[in-house]
Amino acid sequence: LRQGSPEVIFGENKTPEQLLTIVSAMTGRQRNILVTRLDEEKGGLLVSRWPEGDYDPLARTFCLQLSPLPDLHRGPLLIACAGTSDLPVAREAMVTARMFGIEVEELTDVGVAGIHRLLAETDPLSRAAAIIVVAGMEGALPSVVGGLVAVPVIAVPTSVGYGAAFGGVAALLGMLNSCAGGVTVVNIDNGFGAAFAAARILRRQPA
Amino acid sequence: LRQGSPEVIFGENKTPEQLLTIVSAMTGRQRNILVTRLDEEKGGLLVSRWPEGDYDPLARTFCLQLSPLPDLHRGPLLIACAGTSDLPVAREAMVTARMFGIEVEELTDVGVAGIHRLLAETDPLSRAAAIIVVAGMEGALPSVVGGLVAVPVIAVPTSVGYGAAFGGVAALLGMLNSCAGGVTVVNIDNGFGAAFAAARILRRQPA
Amino acid sequence: LRQGSPEVIFGENKTPEQLLTIVSAMTGRQRNILVTRLDEEKGGLLVSRWPEGDYDPLARTFCLQLSPLPDLHRGPLLIACAGTSDLPVAREAMVTARMFGIEVEELTDVGVAGIHRLLAETDPLSRAAAIIVVAGMEGALPSVVGGLVAVPVIAVPTSVGYGAAFGGVAALLGMLNSCAGGVTVVNIDNGFGAAFAAARILRRQPA
Amino acid sequence: LRQGSPEVIFGENKTPEQLLTIVSAMTGRQRNILVTRLDEEKGGLLVSRWPEGDYDPLARTFCLQLSPLPDLHRGPLLIACAGTSDLPVAREAMVTARMFGIEVEELTDVGVAGIHRLLAETDPLSRAAAIIVVAGMEGALPSVVGGLVAVPVIAVPTSVGYGAAFGGVAALLGMLNSCAGGVTVVNIDNGFGAAFAAARILRRQPA
Amino acid sequence: LRQGSPEVIFGENKTPEQLLTIVSAMTGRQRNILVTRLDEEKGGLLVSRWPEGDYDPLARTFCLQLSPLPDLHRGPLLIACAGTSDLPVAREAMVTARMFGIEVEELTDVGVAGIHRLLAETDPLSRAAAIIVVAGMEGALPSVVGGLVAVPVIAVPTSVGYGAAFGGVAALLGMLNSCAGGVTVVNIDNGFGAAFAAARILRRQPA
Amino acid sequence: LRQGSPEVIFGENKTPEQLLTIVSAMTGRQRNILVTRLDEEKGGLLVSRWPEGDYDPLARTFCLQLSPLPDLHRGPLLIACAGTSDLPVAREAMVTARMFGIEVEELTDVGVAGIHRLLAETDPLSRAAAIIVVAGMEGALPSVVGGLVAVPVIAVPTSVGYGAAFGGVAALLGMLNSCAGGVTVVNIDNGFGAAFAAARILRRQPA
Amino acid sequence: LRQGSPEVIFGENKTPEQLLTIVSAMTGRQRNILVTRLDEEKGGLLVSRWPEGDYDPLARTFCLQLSPLPDLHRGPLLIACAGTSDLPVAREAMVTARMFGIEVEELTDVGVAGIHRLLAETDPLSRAAAIIVVAGMEGALPSVVGGLVAVPVIAVPTSVGYGAAFGGVAALLGMLNSCAGGVTVVNIDNGFGAAFAAARILRRQPA
Amino acid sequence: LRQGSPEVIFGENKTPEQLLTIVSAMTGRQRNILVTRLDEEKGGLLVSRWPEGDYDPLARTFCLQLSPLPDLHRGPLLIACAGTSDLPVAREAMVTARMFGIEVEELTDVGVAGIHRLLAETDPLSRAAAIIVVAGMEGALPSVVGGLVAVPVIAVPTSVGYGAAFGGVAALLGMLNSCAGGVTVVNIDNGFGAAFAAARILRRQPA
Ligand SMILES: Nc1ncnc2c1ncn2[C@@H]1O[C@H](COP(=O)(O)O)[C@@H](O)[C@H]1O
Ligand SMILES: Nc1ncnc2c1ncn2[C@@H]1O[C@H](COP(=O)(O)O)[C@@H](O)[C@H]1O
Ligand SMILES: Nc1ncnc2c1ncn2[C@@H]1O[C@H](COP(=O)(O)O)[C@@H](O)[C@H]1O
Ligand SMILES: Nc1ncnc2c1ncn2[C@@H]1O[C@H](COP(=O)(O)O)[C@@H](O)[C@H]1O
Ligand SMILES: [Mg+2]
Ligand SMILES: [Mg+2]
Ligand SMILES: [Mg+2]
Ligand SMILES: [Mg+2]
Ligand SMILES: [Mg+2]
Ligand SMILES: [Mg+2]
Ligand SMILES: [Mg+2]
Ligand SMILES: [Mg+2]
């Protein structure tokens, strides 16, 4: 994974100054740089300093591509998303996956309360080499997807919801208890981690 | 609800002697009697004392019908159940509903990991006047059912599962956060309560 | 439920721009529109764009009626509310129910610590075809109401309270463990869901 | 409290031998002895050794009265109890209170789902100098009682219930969030502690 | 409790307008008025409208005395407080108790990590007719006090602390599990409730 | 995954009779059969009925191979395990993986408190096409392994531990928060699920 | 720590056969052996195989001394214990400490509800080079001890208690939030870990 | 500990005025003063009043040295820190330790996902007389360190992380369940407490 993978910075708790210092230091190494969890202010700062970089306000990421993206990966990664409120997490996964050189397809608004919308999407489902499923509230989508496909399914619970959603705990528990076999789970809102796991899976190994 | 409804005894914490005493006292009132949460020993004891009664070892219920069942209810109640381990709770709901004079249909093994099994059951789903959905683990089935039908959906989480299922908490939270609108929920393993709620709903009201 | 039911938008996590776009798109379909969880700023924006719409600051809802309300429902729905702090949730339920064409009555400030206030309300209680009970803190009101009436009782816990109320968890648990049979529960503060459940129940079914 | 109060032993984790040793040592001091949380085997052992003692299998207590009970207390203590499953805890409170020389009255099966049973009991309620309210499940009874009387109300949650009752947590939270002012709470199933608190309250103080 | 007790308003979730309306309506009844949980802005508003009233910024209370305080109570109430951060809750209890006509003494900064400070206070401890103990963090003070005195001890956990204090849960659990017999507990930060409970206890009953 | 994958039965809540019935019915289909979570009694029963089957008392599994194992998988799967108490879960994973036709290597007793034991195992670590890491208590092993290799890492928390291990919750949370990127997690003690996920990953896809 | 420290085996989840095998293998190395968490049956088995070993039924430990205990430690370790139910954990700590060559003193039944018992023990408190404090229920003892002494204080919460003690969680939280500075904490019931920590502290370091 | 130790003020909940008053009062005693948990505004205020004092914005501490630091301590204290987000807590520990006269060394960015960084630091690890390990997320670092050294290891969980980190709970549980023996733990983010514990340990005792 080492070669071709980006340097990643978790932007959440860092001050603007810290971010500038860290990114500056990294640019010397000529590896691609991904900064996550950036609000618009921090994102704007980075873009004004490195205009060739790309800030995505939905994903809250900043990408600075300093060398070609690797092309080591098998097949497309499908990122499926239950509701529109889950989009920021899905987008963080998408941006991250692309920095790993993975081809990404997206499927949005295919929540389980309107199951026919998901079932209509036979093409993207059958094409995918792996699937990231992003869902909040009851987090049921990975169970349905896991029952439809044989490829790896990585479930990302989101903090979308209120009351007994407990900031994503309901979705997390739902996914850990998925009745579809072999669904794996990452932390709440961890789109980055899901894409990283996909990169581990889709990497074309020697042999 | 008063007229036509059974007397109900919660059998779990009661000694065999207490059960005999309470049921004996009740038989005088000529109302139908339902005892729930009875292990085989207590069930056998009640049957040996009242051979006309009916002990269901799966539902863990004892029914003693002393007067005709009421016929006050509209339409069939569908009880749908995700996995075979959820059957005891579904059966408690079924036995209870019948004591309220409700016609019951059953659908088993229609968990969301094999969504086509559920979707194939268009007839029972469209016929139902109300649906009780029983599911453990991630408790996702009510969301799918709630998206398919317009009738009342009562979700019963079960304690089926292990680890992060936390004795039914994962299913309970999933159901409380259902992205299908208007799904209501009862306590973990409370098949009795779900059927009671159905009786409140299906009762033919004056007017 | 499909015909006659409103389109519903969950306003909480949406930006003003997103809301304008979504509502605009929907107006084309000539179905009634309900937006929930709107603060005053977003509500004002929608009203200034669609002055014929109605923003309710207590319910935090915006209603845009583009076609006649359906009249498919049996009997009045009673919405009973323990304390004045529970009113926003009760009002969200009321607004939602009305968008489903349901006739609503209200009962406020009938908390269990002054039980005689509730018991004095025999008329609305006996008239109701179904009851939504909204309560925070210990969430005890549904148990008392459930013992008084035979119609469906839908309990809505609210996040009212502090300390060991845990944002509505105490009320939620109280309602799930109601000693009154057949009380069903929705998520914390989910007035919308309770009214939706009532619409499922009160819908006049064919036959 | 010191003079007149019993010596108390928590029997739960103690072996039969430890109990015999401890009680023996205490008998020398001529103070009354109360042992709580005794199963029938341990209770039988103590009775066979001290036949003048009294084992109560419901309360799971053993009392050995070696000196006259104190008579220091004002007015009767009412112990009210929601359901029959709560009786063991109520009885532990009653036995304890009597060892403190307090006059006790009992009210059973006055749960909030049948509120008229409680409201019918105006005499014991108005007579009481203090009230212990024992309830499991949603633990709502203390709120209703607290709204009816001006004397001290001590709430005891019990572990009665299943699923989301969480071994008494639902009742505990309900009581801590009581909307009736000035209700105080003790630990789950702590009938002993409630009676001890009543003794602190009802003790006739010098002056 | 009815006669002589104040009208109480929970100020937290109410808007300034609501507070003005409610207090205005109440002044007509000539009973004393207590408003709790008021920030400085709301407090200032009430004082500017009723200059004869008294806003306490530490207790966050507003008192409006319209009739003489009752004098029905036995002995002084001691309010003991572990650390300086617990003072707002202790002060809420003090203000409330005074509105019930109870004489109050205070003891501050007597936390258990400097146990000799508490033990030096023999006079206030022995004089008290009842004691409210306010403590955050590990909430250990009520256990020590409960072992020193025979009068009623009401424990108030506070949300003081961080990390594993969990907003007062650690203190709450500590107090519920006090190894001193007969300590009772109210909700986290509920100084008002503790004083109300003291009023129930200290009220001079007929006879 | 469909072709070549075993039929799997969750044995935990099933009676011996149910197991006999289900397995009998399945044998007709000529697919391989895997039964998990079997105590020795149930395991013995299945072996006495199908002596060609294989009961593993450590894994608590029963395997009945009725057709050749598939050979569709890339590279070896390494199953690494922190302590000896984690072995049953690791073994369940191993048995399951073998039923999917996956070649398995094992590494035991490489917990993080003796980090040099793990670091010495460079060969199995570098050879693995994917790694399942099984650990209880603080569940730290996946973080270290995830930092050492680029292949997929599936973490399985176990219920090993006591006190604040909370039946595997501490390990589960540790794994969900792994500071090594792209580690995915399955339910507590879910060795089966981890191996199923590995089968999804290691399946040789068309192209 | 390596030289002079015992080999330690966690006996809880191991079968008698496993224990015999492991201990046998270890005896070859001539280091002292400590097995913890042994019930009487397993303990008896080990004693019958190695009669020179010592099984302590209270501590649930088995010690097999094969070489002289190290004498590397400074000063006595005091193990103070709140109630008699905490004794097994205190004893586990004591046995462990002795296997590390540490001189141990004991103080029992010095719970905070009878604070004068603790304060009377000035000698052992002032003599100690370090103190282990064992307490269940509210776990308050370490705060008081930590305020009295300047030496290291290691707090061990025990699972003693019921209801809201939550198997030691209340004591654990109390200790983590101790208002006495510099108190450190180990896992619930982890007497072994506390003694191990004491050994790290009391070891006479080079220089 | 008394002589030579600083006076410590917990700045979090105190107003600027309270801080000025308290510090002023203390300066009279000529002991060194440490104020913790100060934001930049409060810190600036203290510095402008006592320019000889030192505000550290990372540690959020203010130190006012009025007498020489004690020199009572043995060996250097190593403070090791998993990630850069943990630095504020590590720095609070460092500042505190220095006020106790302890010599401190630091090791940063040695998280377990890059284990070789830690293993490369043999010198500071072997030199340390005690080690404070600060880590968030899965909190695994103390287990690795505890396995490498024989000196006391004090683990400080931090609130760094998101989702299932639960504000430091994941790290706290990880540390309490450390499979390295004798690791002790303080509250989440309690750098102060860890340094205080180190001072208890490293104090040169009489004898
Ligand atoms: N399985 C059950 N789950 C929940 N509540 C029940 C169940 N069975 C009986 N009940 C309720 O328990 C009440 C009787 O309780 P008891 O008097 O303890 O037998 C009945 O009126 C029912 O409302
Ligand atoms: N207040 C509410 N509480 C729960 N669900 C709601 C609420 N308002 C809207 N919804 C649901 O959210 C869906 C719309 O979500 P969205 O597409 O994000 O606007 C609707 O179909 C409703 O089912
Ligand atoms: N040990 C296990 N842990 C989790 N899921 C399992 C386990 N064993 C079997 N399963 C799942 O349970 C399903 C069978 O459930 P059942 O029909 O109840 O036997 C299988 O298809 C598996 O997906
Ligand atoms: N950052 C901190 N974390 C935990 N406890 C602290 C901290 N800073 C100060 N303390 C403790 O708080 C006490 C002072 O509290 P106070 O009187 O409220 O300022 C000191 O004696 C310390 O024991
Ligand atoms: Mg979802
Ligand atoms: Mg399910
Ligand atoms: Mg309420
Ligand atoms: Mg109750
Ligand atoms: Mg405190
Ligand atoms: Mg481990
Ligand atoms: Mg204790
Ligand atoms: Mg970490």
pLDDT at G37: 97
pLDDT in tens, F84-108: 899 999 999 999 999 999 999 999 9
G207 DSSP assignment: -
Q: What is the pLDDT along chain A (207 residues), one digit of tens a residue?
A: 555 689 999 999 899 999 999 999 999 888 999 999 999 999 999 999 999 999 999 999 999 999 999 887 888 999 999 998 999 999 999 999 999 999 999 999 999 999 999 999 999 999 999 999 999 999 999 999 999 999 999 999 999 999 999 999 999 999 999 999 999 999 999 999 999 999 999 997 654
pLDDT at G70: 86
B-to-C residue pairs, Cβ atoms closer than 8 angstroms:
87
pLDDT in tens, D4-18: 689 999 999 899 999
User: How many C-beta neighbours within 10 Å does residue C51 have?
Assistant: 8
Has residue E173 got a pLDDT over 50? yes
Give the closest residue to G78 by CA, choosing from G112, G126, G140, G135.
G126
DSSP letters for B68-125: PPP--B-SPEEEEESSGGGHHHHHHHHHHHHHTT--EEEEES--GGGHHHHHT-HHHH
At residue H207 the predicted structure's pLDDT band, cuts being 50, 70 and 90, is very low
CA angle C11, C13, C19 (to 5 degrees): 45
Question: Per DSSP, what are the bridge partners of residue G135?
Answer: G157
Cβ atoms of H182 and G193 within 8 Å: the answer is yes
Give the closest residue to E83 by CA, choosing from E156, E150, E154.
E156
Positive or negative: CA dihedral E38, E39, E42, E44: positive
Q: Which ligand is nearest to the CA of B34?
A: 1
pLDDT in tens, H13-45: 899 999 999 999 999 888 999 999 999 999 999
Q: Is A83 in the pocket of ligand 2 (CB under 6 A)?
A: yes
Q: Is A207 on the interface with F (CB under 8 A)?
A: yes
CB distance H192–G181 less than 8 Å? yes
Q: Is E12 on the interface with C (CB under 8 A)?
A: yes
Show Cβ contacts of residue H110 under 8 Å, excluding neighbours closer than 6 positions: H80, H81, H82, H117, H118, H121, H141
Q: Is F137 on the interface with H (CB under 8 A)?
A: yes
Nearest-CA residue for atom 17 of ligand 3 = F9
pLDDT at H1: 54
Q: Is F157 on the interface with H (CB under 8 A)?
A: no
pLDDT at C13: 86
CA angle F6, F7, F8 (to 5 degrees): 105
Compute the distance from residue H5 Cα to the ligand 4 centre, in Å.
Answer: 13
Has residue G207 got a pLDDT over 50? no
Q: What is the pLDDT along chain B (207 residues), one digit of tens a residue?
A: 555 689 999 999 899 999 999 999 999 888 999 999 999 999 999 999 999 999 999 999 999 999 999 887 888 999 999 998 999 999 999 999 999 999 999 999 999 999 999 999 999 999 999 999 999 999 999 999 999 999 999 999 999 999 999 999 999 999 999 999 999 999 999 999 999 999 999 997 654
pLDDT at G3: 59
pLDDT in tens, F142-191: 999 999 999 999 999 999 999 999 999 999 999 999 999 999 999 999 99
pLDDT in tens, D102-120: 999 999 999 999 999 999 9
Q: Which residues of H touch A192 (CB under 8 A)?
A: none
Show Cβ contacts of residue G120 under 8 Å, excluding neighbours closer than 6 positions: none
Cβ atoms of A100 and A114 within 8 Å: the answer is no
Query: How far out from the chain centre does Cα F77 lie?
Result: 10
Show Cβ contacts of residue F120 under 8 Å, excluding neighbours closer than 6 positions: none
A97 token code pair: 């996956």
- Chains with 3 or more CB pairs under 8 A to chain D: B, C, E, G
Positive or negative: CA dihedral G81, G87, G90, G94: positive
Compute the distance from residue F137 Cα to the ligand 10 centre, in Å.
Answer: 5
- Categorise residue C163: left if φ over 0, alpha if ψ from -120 to 50, beta otherwise: left
Cβ atoms of H203 and H5 within 8 Å: the answer is no
pLDDT in tens, H75-128: 899 999 999 899 999 999 999 999 999 999 999 999 999 999 999 999 999 999
Min Cα–Cα distance to chain E from H91, Å: 18
- pLDDT mean over E144-152: 96
At residue G28 the predicted structure's pLDDT band, cuts being 50, 70 and 90, is confident
- Categorise residue B10: left if φ over 0, alpha if ψ from -120 to 50, beta otherwise: beta
Q: How far apart are CA F96 and CA F101, in angstroms?
A: 9
Q: How far apart are CA G91 and CA G80, in angstroms?
A: 10
Has residue D206 got a pLDDT over 80? no
Interface test with B, best of A148, A153, A179, A184 (most B CBs within 10 A): A179
> Which of H1, H9, H159 to mutate for ligand 4's pocket (most ligand atoms within 8 Å of CB)?
H9
pLDDT at B146: 97
User: Which regions of A148-193 does DSSP assign to beta strands (E)?
Assistant: 153-157, 183-185
Compute the distance from residue C13 Cα to the ligand 7 centre, in Å.
Answer: 28
CA distances for D150 relative to A61, C140, D127, D130, D153, angstroms: 61, 20, 11, 9, 8
Ligand 3, residues at Cβ distance < 6 Å: A 181; B 83-85; F 8-10, 36-37, 190, 192-193
Q: Is E83 in the pocket of ligand 4 (CB under 6 A)?
A: yes
Query: How far out from the chain centre does Cα E159 lie?
Result: 14
Q: How far apart are CA H205 and CA D57, in angstroms?
A: 56
Nearest-CA residue for atom 6 of ligand 2 = C10
How many Cα atoms are found within 13 Å in the side-chain-facing hemisphere of D102? 34
Q: Is B177 on the interface with C (CB under 8 A)?
A: yes
Q: Which residues of G touch E155 (CB under 8 A)?
A: none
Environment of ion ligand 7 (residues, CB < 5 A): C 82, 135, 137
pLDDT at C207: 44
Specify the pTM.
0.96
Cβ atoms of C125 and C161 within 8 Å: the answer is no
pLDDT in tens, C104-161: 999 999 999 999 999 999 999 999 999 999 999 999 999 999 999 999 999 999 999 9
pLDDT at C183: 98
Contact between chain F and chain D (3 or more Cβ pairs less than 8 Å apart): no
Q: Which residues of B touch A137 (CB under 8 A)?
A: 177-179
Min Cα–Cα distance to chain G from D80, Å: 20
G192 token code pair: 């072994």
C179 DSSP assignment: S
Q: How far apart are CA D20 and CA H198, in angstroms?
A: 45
Query: How far out from the chain centre does Cα A112 lie?
Result: 20
Strand duo F33-36 + F61-64: pairing: antiparallel
| Index of the ligand 4 atom closest to the CA of residue H22 | 19
Cβ atoms of D166 and D126 within 8 Å: the answer is no
User: Which regions of E52-201 does DSSP assign to beta strands (E)?
Assistant: 54-56, 61-64, 77-81, 104-108, 130-135, 153-157, 183-185
pLDDT at C205: 63
G121 DSSP assignment: -
| Index of the ligand 2 atom closest to the CA of residue A109 | 17
G167 DSSP assignment: G
User: How many C-beta neighbours within 10 Å does residue H47 have?
Assistant: 15
Contact between chain A and chain F (3 or more Cβ pairs less than 8 Å apart): yes
- pLDDT mean over C172-179: 98
Helix (H, G, I), strand (E, B) or coil at A174: helix
At residue F3 the predicted structure's pLDDT band, cuts being 50, 70 and 90, is low
Positive or negative: CA dihedral E20, E22, E25, E30: negative
H34-45: buried (b, 16+ CB within 10 Å) or exposed (e) per residue?
bbbbbeeebbeb
Q: How far apart are CA A60 and CA A69, in angstroms?
A: 20
E70 token code pair: 């009752």
Q: Which helix (H) or strand (E) holds C152?
A: none
F13 DSSP assignment: T
> Which of B1, B5, B8 to mutate for ligand 1's pocket (most ligand atoms within 8 Å of CB)?
B8
A203 DSSP assignment: B
Only one residue has tokens 């103190």, namely: G131
- pLDDT mean over G46-57: 97
pLDDT in tens, D71-99: 878 889 999 999 989 999 999 999 999 99
Has residue F206 got a pLDDT over 80? no
D9 token code pair: 């032993």
User: Which regions of D31-177 does DSSP assign to beta strands (E)?
Assistant: 33-36, 54-56, 61-64, 77-81, 104-108, 130-135, 153-157
User: How many C-beta neighbours within 10 Å does residue G150 have?
Assistant: 16
Q: Is C36 in the pocket of ligand 2 (CB under 6 A)?
A: yes
pLDDT in tens, F11-36: 998 999 999 999 999 998 889 999 99
- pLDDT mean over E46-61: 97
Q: Is B15 on the interface with C (CB under 8 A)?
A: no
Q: How far apart are CA H117 and CA H139, in angstroms?
A: 17
Q: Is D129 on the interface with E (CB under 8 A)?
A: yes
Mean pLDDT of chain D: 94
pLDDT at B3: 59
H168 DSSP assignment: G
